[in-house]
Amino acid sequence: MARMRVHELAKELDMNSRELLDKILKMGIVVKNHMSTLSESAVAKIREHLQRDVTRQVEEKRIGRQVIRRRKKIEVEQPAEVQVAGAGEAPEVLGQEDQKAAEEPAATEIPVATAAKPPVEPEDVAEAAKPPAEEPTPSVTSAAEAEKVEEVSEKALKTAIEVSPVPEEPGLGEAAEAEAVHEEAPAEPMSAQEDSVTAEAMEEAGAEPVPSAEKEKEIRKAPAEVEEETDQPARIISRPEPVRAAEEPMEALAVVSEKGEEEEDKAKKKKGKRRRRKRRKDEPARIISLPEIIPSEPEEEPEVPPTVVRFLPEQEISREPLRKKRLRPDEEPSGPEKKLRKGRKEVVGREELYTKKELRAQDERGKESLRREDHGPQKPQITVPKAIKRRIRIDEAITVANLARQMGVKATEVIKKLLALGLPANINQAIDFDAAALVAAEFDYEVEKAGFEEEDILQTVEDRPEDLQPRPPVVTVMGHVDHGKTSLLDAIRHTRVIDQEAGGITQHIGAYFVELDGRHITFLDTPGHEAFTAMRARGAKVTDIVILVVAADDGVMQQTVEAINHSKAAGVPIMVAINKIDKPNANPDRVKRELSEHGLLPEEWGGDVTMVEISAKKKMGIEELLEMVLLQAELMELKANPNKPARGRVIEAKLDKGRGPVATILVQEGTLREGNAYVCGTYFGRVRSMFNDKGQKVTAAGPSVPVEVIGLSGVPNAGDDFVVLADEKQAKLVAEHRQLKAREKELSRTTKVTLEKLYGQIRDGQIQEISVILKTDVQGSLEAIRDSLLKLSTPDVKVSLIHAGTGAISESDVMLASASNALIIGFNVRADAKAQELAEQEKVSIRYYDVIYQILDDIKDAMVGLLEPQYQEEIVGRAEVRQTFHISRIGTVAGCYVTEGKVERSAKVRLLRDGVVVWDGKISSLKRFKDDAREVKAGFECGLTIENFNDIKVGDLLEVYQMVEVAPVLETRPSPEDRPQP
Ligand SMILES: Nc1nc2c(ncn2[C@@H]2O[C@H](COP(=O)(O)OP(=O)(O)OP(=O)(O)O)[C@@H](O)[C@H]2O)c(=O)[nH]1
């Protein structure tokens, strides 16, 4: 027999571990608790001691005639006194079994084991050894109970059970008792003596000593190891699980007894399902080897309470710090625990991850973020561009779309603002600088006039004085009609150009280059002040000297004066050529006198105007005139720098069938060469080839030299500039920019006033008067029409005569009309082609008449249109209400009888009650029976409803009326200030 533990021995002896423990202690054998190991000699001693105390008796009692109750009777003798180390009290002696007590329910039979209580009967002990939870309250009178008692008694023959004085609770079974012992065990400190005894006993068995209490605690803290042990069959038994606590003694008894399978099986059956399950799980062989294994593994120390063993691992693991760096070397997991950690998903608390300091820091940060959240989430903020970015550069006009894009707003917003400003425009329409500035201000943007960007490219460098060289003068001929301008140019050309050329074929290029004694003069073959003005209107200042031709026989005429004025305005010096001196009625002095009246005083009269008497027809005084021109040029010190890229002006341009666009360019400065890249107006290109005024091909043209240039991408306008650039790319850039500007300008150009639009413009407050430019064929009709027009003026609308004159409608007239927003009336005259073209460009309205009263009627109608429309009430019909109906959703329907005229669906209605107007509104519905009607005539009945009015009563009178527009009547009384002008 090997060593045994107390509880195993108790099981073998079929008695309570506590009781056995007490008995052992009383025997003087030092044990700590029921798990303490007993040496072989101690076991033998205990057995011997207990067996002596048990005697077997069978008690028979006749209950009836045929019934004899036979009971096993265990008589417990007074055990021999054993000296118990450390226990001063004498062992208790069990008294005789009370017969009656056996018949009482087991629950009540279980004695409360206290030191003061009487001994417990053997039957009671046997009963108490069974798990009370599985055993119903037995009735000792039943046969089954008799058998049970008999079996227990048989076991009791081998064992002596001594009831210990350990306190018990009534009804508490062995299992609970055992568990209580288990739980108490760890708390009980093991004395040094006990340790030594236990260790000694273990040494005898060749096993390792039982670990100390401290060690045991450490083992409990190593849950993984304990958990791992559960996989080892031999150790399962050694682990005092709570569910098995009550079974352990019985199991041990069964194993150790080896009395036969029968006894064991019987015992198993009585233990119920849990017992059977245990048996299936545990293999006998392992159980047998139990004693040898237990001491070899200190961590198997079954001192650990079952509850602790079961739940401790996870608790302990969860408390394990996650971070390895925090682990001390002795805390490092190893072996099974390490494996366990690998395979298990661990839940680690925040407190285990961070130190207290870190946690405090995190809490502070959390509070800070909460404080920030208190302010609410940040909303997207609309960033306002800097002031420098809120400036928009506009040349002369800008499209609505472009403006909106530059401001970063929707085009519709811009259009709305424009409408609010009274400037209706669509998205593609260009608005001028002023309108753009107004709209931009609405969006907090500034508009600044963009310095012409191309100026950055077309840089004009001031020439140094030493670079300047004398250049030929450029001369324009002006004069009144038929005074001989063309004849003069022809005379110069023939004498100075054609006559010198062999062959005499001169190509007309609009300019002549005349040589006189090695000196040159450039004549522009565009006589007349219209062209001069047109050139000037484009900013082209090409003429150095004006030759004013005045016929000696005719004197100063209207266009002579205009030419004088135009020249003076341009600041161009004038030289006078008194022509037709060959005529007999020529009177040069009269001409000089008349010219002096216009500020041109001849030199011989002390003035500064050179006057040369010539005859174009007779070619007289031509060279003298040229000499005087050259002299004038010398006085003017006309100079230019020929050593730089050329700049010039377009004198004339046309589309040649064979050569494409051809332009006559007057080089004003620099030298134009073949191959030069240039920009000309809105076109660009390279100079493919050049020809002079004689049709000769040239490779270079200096200042004041007219050349015909081929290689243009389009036909430019007269007066356009011509600039040579470094490369064609730059030229293209400038040209495209100009095209864009021209387009915007064209789009922004508002149509000038027309007679048809006058009314609208006056109504919108744009026009308070009608401006007219009158051109007639004769002076007489001019005066008649002028007086009639001025008489049309009324206090509401004023007719303003901007300009009146005889002759065809000229470009000047168109330009004037464009500038003054006037319309042109031509009486028996027409506009010339250029004027017509210009009028189309400038959107100037020209109206032609041949009957005076038609002019007056049209103007009068236009003026009438200017007046606010007037409306007059017209009664359509009358009706009386004879019945009313109220219909939900519709309201009150008036059943009426039309007494007069008719009732119209679209008409207005006035409701009269006792002669008082109660309501004035519109008819909302009109029905004839059930059908909608457009009108109901007198003598018929109808039903009608009035818009937004339901208080219709029987007897009300309805007056149906409509507002009719009445033509306004103009007051014929002229304004005092609108007297006919001289
Ligand atoms: N006797 C005489 N007749 C001249 C002279 N110069 C021009 N004429 C005549 O005057 C008329 C008009 O001459 P133009 O050269 O056409 O005059 P213009 O100024 O060019 O006329 P417009 O082009 O209509 O403005 C022609 O019949 C010429 O023959 C001249 O010196 N003496």
**CA of residue 809 to ligand 1 center, whole Å:** 23
CA dihedral over 202, 203, 205, 211, signed as positive or negative: positive
**CA of residue 620 to ligand 1 center, whole Å:** 14
Q: Does domain 467-640 have CATH number 3.40.50.150?
A: no
546 to 210, 649, 929: CA distances (angstroms): 138, 17, 90
**CA of residue 912 to ligand 1 center, whole Å:** 86
Residue of minimum CA distance from atom 8 in ligand 1: 484
Burial 49-66, CB ≥16 within 10 A → b, else e: bbeebbeeeeeeeeeeee
Where does 755-865 sit in CATH, by number?
3.40.50.10050
Give the whole-angstrom CA distance, residue 716 versus residue 535: 13
Residue of minimum CA distance from atom 11 in ligand 1: 482
Give the whole-angstrom CA distance, residue 556 versus residue 554: 7
Q: Which residue has the tokens 């110069």?
A: 492
At residue 382, does pLDDT exceed 90?
A: no
At residue 903, does pLDDT exceed 90?
A: yes
Pairing outcome for strands 4-5 and 37-38: antiparallel
Residue of minimum CA distance from atom 25 in ligand 1: 481
Which pLDDT score, from 0 to 100, does residue 581 have?
A: 92
**CA of residue 31 to ligand 1 center, whole Å:** 160
795 versus 114: the higher-pLDDT residue is: 795
958 versus 977: the higher-pLDDT residue is: 958
pLDDT digits (tens, 9 = 90+) for 232-279: 443 434 344 444 433 444 444 434 444 445 555 555 555 544 444 444
In the predicted model, what is the mean pLDDT of residues 674-690?
Answer: 89
**CA of residue 692 to ligand 1 center, whole Å:** 27
Query: 923 with 944: CB under 8 angstroms?
Result: yes
Give the whole-angstrom CA distance, residue 700 versus residue 667: 10
**Amino acid letter for position 349:** G
Best probe residue, ligand 1, of 482, 490, 582 (max atoms within 8 Å of C-beta): 482
User: Terminal CA-to-CA distance of the chain, rounded, Å?
Assistant: 160
Query: 912 with 956: CB under 8 angstroms?
Result: yes
**CA of residue 572 to ligand 1 center, whole Å:** 24
In the predicted model, what is the mean pLDDT of residues 678-705?
Answer: 88
pLDDT digits (tens, 9 = 90+) for 789-832: 888 887 777 888 877 788 888 887 887 787 677 889 998 888 88
Query: 11 with 253: CB under 8 angstroms?
Result: yes
Edge-to-edge strand ranges of the sheet holding 574-579:
511-516, 519-524, 474-479, 545-551, 574-579, 610-613
**CA of residue 583 to ligand 1 center, whole Å:** 12
**What band does 447 get if pLDDT is binned at 50, 70 and 90?**
confident
Which three-class secondary structure string do you get for 906-957? CCEEEEEECCEEEEEEEEEEEEECCEECCEEECCCEEEEEECCECCCCCCCE
Residue of minimum CA distance from atom 2 in ligand 1: 580
**CA of residue 486 to ligand 1 center, whole Å:** 7
Which pLDDT score, from 0 to 100, does residue 387 have?
A: 62
Nearest to residue 540, comparing CAs of 717, 702, 710, 671? Answer: 717
Which pLDDT score, from 0 to 100, does residue 250 have?
A: 42
74 versus 354: the higher-pLDDT residue is: 354
At residue 580, does pLDDT exceed 60?
A: yes
Tell me which range, 3-7, 233-237, 265-269, 473-477, is most confidently predicted by mean pLDDT. Answer: 473-477
Q: What contacts 861, CB < 8 A, 6 or more positions away?
A: none
CA dihedral over 711, 715, 721, 727, signed as positive or negative: negative
CA 203 to chain centre: 85
Closest atom of ligand 1 to CA, residue 579: 31
Q: Which helix (H) or strand (E) holds 328?
A: none
811-820 and 833-842 helices, crossing angle to 10°: 20
270 to 12, 129, 152, 282, 719: CA distances (angstroms): 16, 12, 12, 18, 131
What number is the ipTM of this complex?
0.98
865 to 134, 368, 609: CA distances (angstroms): 120, 75, 54
**CA of residue 557 to ligand 1 center, whole Å:** 15
Residue of minimum CA distance from atom 13 in ligand 1: 484
Closest atom of ligand 1 to CA, residue 618: 31
Nearest to residue 473, comparing CAs of 630, 610, 651? Answer: 630
CATH architecture of 870-966: Beta Barrel (2.40)
Residue of minimum CA distance from atom 12 in ligand 1: 482
Give the whole-angstrom CA distance, residue 446 versus residue 391: 5
Burial 445-468, CB ≥16 within 10 A → b, else e: bebeeeeeebeebbeeeebeeeeb
**CA of residue 551 to ligand 1 center, whole Å:** 9
Residue of minimum CA distance from atom 32 in ligand 1: 580
CB-based burial label for 40 (10 Å; 0-12, 13-18, 19+)? middle
Query: 845 with 755: CB under 8 angstroms?
Result: yes
Closest atom of ligand 1 to CA, residue 620: 31
Q: Which residues line ligand 1 (CB under 6 A)?
A: 479, 481-487, 579-580, 582-583, 615-617
Which pLDDT score, from 0 to 100, does residue 524 have?
A: 85
**CA of residue 494 to ligand 1 center, whole Å:** 15
Give the whole-angstrom CA distance, residue 614 versus residue 551: 10
**Amino acid letter for position 385:** P
Give the whole-angstrom CA distance, residue 15 versus residue 3: 18
Nearest to residue 15, comparing CAs of 140, 139, 122? Answer: 122
**CA of residue 482 to ligand 1 center, whole Å:** 5
15 to 1, 9, 121, 125, 161: CA distances (angstroms): 19, 9, 13, 7, 6
pTM for the model: 0.41
Best probe residue, ligand 1, of 486, 530, 585 (max atoms within 8 Å of C-beta): 486
**Amino acid letter for position 416:** K
Query: 300 with 294: CB under 8 angstroms?
Result: yes
Closest atom of ligand 1 to CA, residue 481: 25
CA 169 to chain centre: 79
Query: 190 with 217: CB under 8 angstroms?
Result: no
In the predicted model, what is the mean pLDDT of residues 66-95?
Answer: 46
Q: Which residue has the tokens 């600044």?
A: 448
Residue of minimum CA distance from atom 9 in ligand 1: 484
**CA of residue 606 to ligand 1 center, whole Å:** 30
Q: Which helix (H) or strand (E) holds 60?
A: strand 54-62
Compute and round to an integer the Cα radius of gyration of the chain: 67
The HSE-up count of residue 582 (CA atoms within 13 Å, CB side) is: 10
Which pLDDT score, from 0 to 100, does residue 490 have?
A: 84
Closest atom of ligand 1 to CA, residue 583: 1
Closest atom of ligand 1 to CA, residue 528: 25
394 versus 126: the higher-pLDDT residue is: 394
Query: 631 with 662: CB under 8 angstroms?
Result: no
Q: How many beta carbons lie within 10 A of that of residue 721, not counting itself?
A: 19
Do domains 467-640 and 755-865 share one topology? The answer is yes
Range of weakest confidence among 2-16, 193-207, 575-589, 864-878: 193-207
**Residues annotated within a binding site:** 479-486, 525-529, 579-582
pLDDT digits (tens, 9 = 90+) for 21-69: 888 888 888 888 878 888 888 888 888 888 776 544 455 566 666 666 6
**What band does 644 get if pLDDT is binned at 50, 70 and 90?**
confident
**CA of residue 485 to ligand 1 center, whole Å:** 7
| Structural fold of domain 391-451 | Arc Repressor Mutant, subunit A (1.10.10)
DSSP 865-910: HHSPPEEEEEEEEEEEEEEEEEETTTEEEEEEEEEEEEEETTSEEE
Closest atom of ligand 1 to CA, residue 489: 15
Closest atom of ligand 1 to CA, residue 614: 31
Residue of minimum CA distance from atom 27 in ligand 1: 482
Which pLDDT score, from 0 to 100, does residue 883 have?
A: 92
At residue 917, does pLDDT exceed 90?
A: no
Closest atom of ligand 1 to CA, residue 479: 19
The HSE-up count of residue 424 (CA atoms within 13 Å, CB side) is: 1
At residue 147, does pLDDT exceed 60?
A: no
Which pLDDT score, from 0 to 100, does residue 836 have?
A: 86
Query: 713 with 677: CB under 8 angstroms?
Result: no
Burial 575-612, CB ≥16 within 10 A → b, else e: bbbbbbbbeeebbbebbbebbbeeebbbeeeeeebbbb
Pairing outcome for strands 846-849 and 798-806: unpaired
Query: 167 with 112: CB under 8 angstroms?
Result: yes
Q: Which CATH number fits domain 641-752: 2.30.110.10, 2.40.30.10, 3.30.390.30, 1.10.10.10?
A: 2.40.30.10
Range of weakest confidence among 146-155, 505-514, 739-748, 894-903: 146-155
Which pLDDT score, from 0 to 100, does residue 577 have?
A: 94
Which pLDDT score, from 0 to 100, does residue 943 have?
A: 93
CB-based burial label for 781 (10 Å; 0-12, 13-18, 19+)? middle
**Residues annotated within a binding site for GTP:** 479-486, 525-529, 579-582
Pairing outcome for strands 519-524 and 891-904: unpaired
| Domain extents in the chain | 6-52, 391-451, 467-640, 641-752, 755-865, 870-966
Give the whole-angstrom CA distance, residue 607 versus residue 26: 165
Q: What contacts 903, CB < 8 A, 6 or more positions away?
A: 876, 877, 879, 896, 909, 923, 926, 935, 936, 942, 944, 958, 960
Task: Return the SS3 of 133.
Answer: coil
Range of weakest confidence among 149-163, 362-376, 510-524, 956-970: 149-163
At residue 676, does pLDDT exceed 60?
A: yes
Question: Mean pLDDT for the chain?
Answer: 70
Closest atom of ligand 1 to CA, residue 549: 19
Which pLDDT score, from 0 to 100, does residue 592 have?
A: 92
Which pLDDT score, from 0 to 100, does residue 874 have?
A: 85
At residue 329, does pLDDT exceed 90?
A: no
Best probe residue, ligand 1, of 578, 617, 622 (max atoms within 8 Å of C-beta): 617
Task: Return the SS3 of 961.
Answer: strand
Phi, psi of 574 (to 5 degrees): -110, 135
pLDDT digits (tens, 9 = 90+) for 221-230: 444 443 443 3
pLDDT digits (tens, 9 = 90+) for 835-874: 888 888 878 888 888 888 888 888 887 776 655 556 778 8
Best probe residue, ligand 1, of 487, 524, 581 (max atoms within 8 Å of C-beta): 487
Give the whole-angstrom CA distance, residue 236 versus residue 419: 97
Q: Which helix (H) or strand (E) holds 322?
A: none
**CA of residue 210 to ligand 1 center, whole Å:** 150
What's the token pair of residue 182?
């288990």
**CA of residue 489 to ligand 1 center, whole Å:** 10
Closest atom of ligand 1 to CA, residue 487: 15
